[in-house]
Structure 1
Amino acid sequence: MPRKRFQCYPDLTAFTSFLDEHGGIITPEVLAKAIRKHRGNSGYNLKLCERYEVLEEGVPIFRRKPRFADDNGTQLNNRLNNDFFSEIIDFKTGYFAGSPVTYAYSQTKESESATGSSAETEEAAKAVTDFTVHANMYDVDMQCVKYAAICGYGARLFYIDPEKRENVMSIYPYQAILLSDTDEIYNPKYGIRYWKVRDMDNSILCKAEFYNSEVKISFSGSSFGNMQETGRIAHGFHMCPLQGIPNNSELVGDAENVLSLIDAYDRCMSDCSNEVENFAQSYMVFENVQIDDPTIQAAQASGSFHFWNGAGEGKIYYLTKDINDTFLQNYADRLEKNIFHRSKTPDLSSEAFGTASGISLKFKLTELETKCGMLEAKMSAAGMYMFRLLSQSWKERLKITVIPEQCCMSFSRNFPLDELSEAQAVQAMVNAGLPKRVAFENGFSFIDDIDYVMDLAAKEEDGVVSLYQTGREQ
């Protein structure tokens, strides 16, 4: 079922204003109100995650009841789940985040001037690289993209790990509330994370954490409406460390607009399965003939019946089901086509993809690129917030200067490589007068770190020149 109004991400600007007026500290009563206002969105997002996990609670066809409830359980009720939902999510996640996002620090004269010196620029670049490796940003980005595609937004939490280093983890979106002045959850002012756990006696315990620009306040209680503060510590940053990653401005998941089509396909396939199994494909009719069980058993062994009817009106024949398989196949095909088209997901089983390559294949992915472009814009904005947060921590911990505006994010699609076409295009760009760095960065899709490639090229060129000069001197 589509979202209802109360299941959309709520307007929480009133809570932001209230917290600003009260020193950025939340009370248990205000916390309970914020959670209650977010519960509609949280519950719907939880159902979407359960559907992705293929749990009985999340997939509607698994909860389908027989047409007649008073049949004492004898009516067939096949429940077939054709998991288009996960296919839509996994396809976008693999296409957009299958190739790691490249994080780097600019190595231009402008960045050196802003950072201080060449040595300080190298230190800043090392800090960025070390963080992406230490925090395993590839995995975090993949999880955030997946949950953004499922629920409309993902969330991540920055923290100081036991090694006293900056780290980050992905958070379930149905557990995260982001409070902002600008209605953009990637630029939060305050954050709330809430969830349920079970204690040793299997009793439910509700927990919550509130984040402002300086501290984390922990809460606990028997319910979200009855919580008490249990602790308050500095989280180590000077900005809210809980951040949202929007899928789009509407905070809507990629498969939400085709949920009814997917459910219709599941019902169609389940009903067809019921029809196939119900009394098999055909059954035998004895017209004006009395047949007992021993006779039927003998016929099953011999393959024939022998009977005598003086009136001459007895008949034995098969009654086969008259199923309009053409209508059912066309109906299923239309549903499947609409599911892929309306969700902007390529159907790789289509014959069109079997013969397409290069530019023609990219044109067939235009609709998917539209979705990915929206997410890329949001992730770029979220990345700027992340570098602002990290740069302040690095300044205190490492005593280095990192300019957030000089931190770069490069996105590349997990697209089938066409090395020959790319090499010819790069050669043409170089021959046209473009610098090799520009040609390599824009022509080769498999290059993730252009600085590393250019360094290798420079070293090889220096080695060749040195060898040539040495040979001439001899």
Structure 2
Amino acid sequence: MNAYIIKPDTIFNLSDDKDIINIEVLNGLITKHKSLITDRYKKLYDAYIGDYPILHQADKETYKPDNRVVVNFAKYIVDTFNGFFIGVPIKVSSKKKEIDDYINLLDKYNDQDDNNAELSKICSVFGKGYELYFNDDYGNLGITYLDPREGFMVYDESTVQKPRYFVTYQIVDEVMRGYIYDKTYKYEFNDKGGLHVFNGVEHGFNDIPATEFIENEERMSIFESTYSLINAYNKAMSEKANDVDYFADAYLKILGPKVEDSDLVHIRDNRTINFESMDGSGDGIVVDFMSKPNADATQENLINRLERLIFQNSMVANINDENFGTSSGIALRYKLLSMSNLAKAKERKFTSGMNRRYRVLFSNAITHRSENDWLEVEYKFTQNYPANLLEEAQTAAQLSGIVSHETQLSFISAVEDTNAEMERIKKEDENDMVETENRIFQNNEDSQNDEQ
């Protein structure tokens, strides 16, 4: 397969007439998953960490410059987009106090803000990621994230594709060990002396204790559409670096006088070429450097075009662009519109995954919650726009008398919780009123004392 091509993602399905995963089926699914790791997930992860095909090309001849320049656009695109999408943590809440209190406890116990950020990054790199739920050693619910190299979800073949199993495994000392989860049980398996599946134990949830989060419906990495462009950019930059070395290593050309062969034993080291004049007269002696045709303008045009196409196709803004920082207000939002649309699309997919998260978690008996309590959970995503507090304050002030105070406050990014801020304002107003009344009362008393 061409190094610039990444194999499309695969959804694992089992027909409804197969109630359990037997040894043969499990072995086939794992073999298919390992192939997907090699053909897809490894290339995506390598791109994110800066390990591109150009680093693995055959070496050129030793006398030729052989620079391998990598500009890691994949990491820039992933980190920039996720800083915009989830740089401000998702606010999860409920209007029912007992549900809200439990969510806050659960999320704090599991460092869920960090989990959400890492899971979002995994989705951007691979096109999808997983969450796994479990009862920990302290009798609490645990939440952890997995990337698609560590496991896979198996769906049925219906139109809605309902999850049937979740499989996770790892290979340690050439022995594969893992677990299969269905809606009731957790089964352990290993391939020591052949593949074996052991008796299951109840996991305590009313559904498969795992959720697949996806970047988009196609399960594509955020930089996948630009992968070939990034490789072309790296190649162009490497060749440009090679050309710089070529010019630095220019050959000295001597036309006319004959230079002794003993002086030119190592022509490549000396970078000198000597031609004797045809008549041997020595007339018309020329000594200068041989120059290679200059393609600098063509290279620069290609590099600039590739860079524009990379950001255009990924729909992620190049915030390091020298003209980017001079924009503000509506102009800045126009520059970020494509990335905002991308974030909105991901927000809907993430919301779907979080709905399943709390539905499955609340089904566990130790939560003392109703399984349908997840319907009372609300999510607030805040896109991480650069803040201009002066402009926001002016906009909020101009809305006075037109919209509610809560809506006014929502235009100020420094206000994270409008309800809490309104409560603080109300309390300050009450305190001010008490102080005013006390001051009036004291002034009246002082006036009466003066009259007496």
- Whether TM exceeds 0.5 here: the answer is yes
Deviation of 1:184 (Å) = 6.7
Using structure 2 for the length normalisation, give the TM-score.
Answer: 0.85
Q: 1:33 aligns with which of 28, 31, 40?
A: 28
In structure 1, the residue matched to 2:391 is 421
Q: Distance in 2 between matches of 1:191 and 1:274?
A: 49
Q: Is the 8 A contact 2:257 2:282 kept in 1?
A: no
Question: By how many angstroms is 1:366 displaced?
Answer: 1.2
Quick check: 1:209–1:216 contact (8 Å CA) kept in 2? yes
Query: d(CA) in 2 for partners of 1:222 and 1:359?
Result: 62
Match of 2:37 in 1: 42
Out of 314, 320, 324, the position equivalent to 2:295 is: 324
Any stretches of 5+ residues in structure 2 without a counterpart?
265-279, 443-452
Report sequence identity in percent: 23
Q: Does structure 2 retain, via aligned residues, the 8 Å contact 1:257–1:342?
A: yes
Matches within 5 A, 1:308-347: 311-347=282-318
Match of 1:290 in 2: 258
SS in 2 for 1:169: strand
Matches within 5 A, 1:47-446: 47-55=43-51, 59-66=52-59, 71=61, 73-106=62-95, 121-181=96-156, 188-198=163-173, 204-222=174-192, 226-230=194-198, 232-278=200-246, 280-291=248-259, 311-393=282-364, 396-401=365-370, 403-432=373-402, 434-441=403-410, 443-446=411-414
**Matched length:** 421
Rounded Cα–Cα distance in structure 1 between residues aligned with 2:415 and 2:112 = 18
Residues in 1 aligned to 2:398 and 2:382: alpha-carbon distance in whole angstroms: 22
CA distance in structure 1 between the partners assigned to 2:224 and 2:367 by the alignment: 45
| CA deviation string 1:154-192 (max 9, x = no partner) | 11111222221112111012223123356778x734211
Letter in 2 for 1:207: R
Taking structure 1 as the reference length, the TM-score comes to 0.82
Relative distance call for 1:177 and 1:311 in structure 2 (3 A) is closer
> What is the DSSP-based 3-state SS (H/G/I as helix, E as strand, rest coil) of the residue aligned with 2:183?
coil
Deviation at 1:467, TM superposition (A): 2.9
Per-residue deviation, 1:365: 1.0
Equivalent position of 2:6 in the other structure: 3
TM-fit CA distance, 1:127: 0.4
Is the Cα–Cα contact under 8 Å of residues 281 and 320 in structure 1 kept in the other structure? no
Deviation at 1:143, TM superposition (A): 1.1
Contact 1:10-1:38 within 8 A present in 2 as well: no
Amino acid at match of 1:60: P
After superposition, the Cα gap between the structure-2 partners of 1:295 and 1:385, relative to the gap in structure 1 and judged at 3 Å, is closer
Distance 2:160 2:122 in 1: 17
Contact 2:128 2:147 in 1 (8 A): no
Structure 1: gaps spanning 5 or more residues: 107-120, 199-203, 297-308
Contact 2:47 2:72 in 1 (8 A): no
Q: Which residue of 1 aligns with 2:270?
A: none
Return the alpha-carbon distance in structure 2 between the equivalents of residues 180 and 62 of structure 1.
38
Look up the SS of the partner of 1:420 in the other structure: helix
Q: Given that residues 219 and 231 in structure 1 are in contact (C-alpha distance below 8 angstroms), is that contact kept between their aligned partners in structure 2?
A: no
Q: CA deviation at 1:100?
A: 0.6
What SS is found at the alignment partner of 1:101?
strand
Shift, 1:102, TM fit: 0.7
Q: Which protein is bigger by CA-based radius of gyration?
A: 2
SS in structure 2 of the partner of residue 411 of structure 1 = strand
**In structure 1, distance between residues paired with 2:12 and 2:197:** 25
Q: What are the Cα deviations for residues 294-315 of structure 1, in whole angstroms up to 9, with x where unaligned?
A: 989xxxxxxxxxxxx8542332
Root mean square deviation, CA, Å: 2.6
- For the residues of structure 2 that align with 1:352 and 1:13, how far apart are their CA atoms? 52
Letter in 1 for 2:352: A
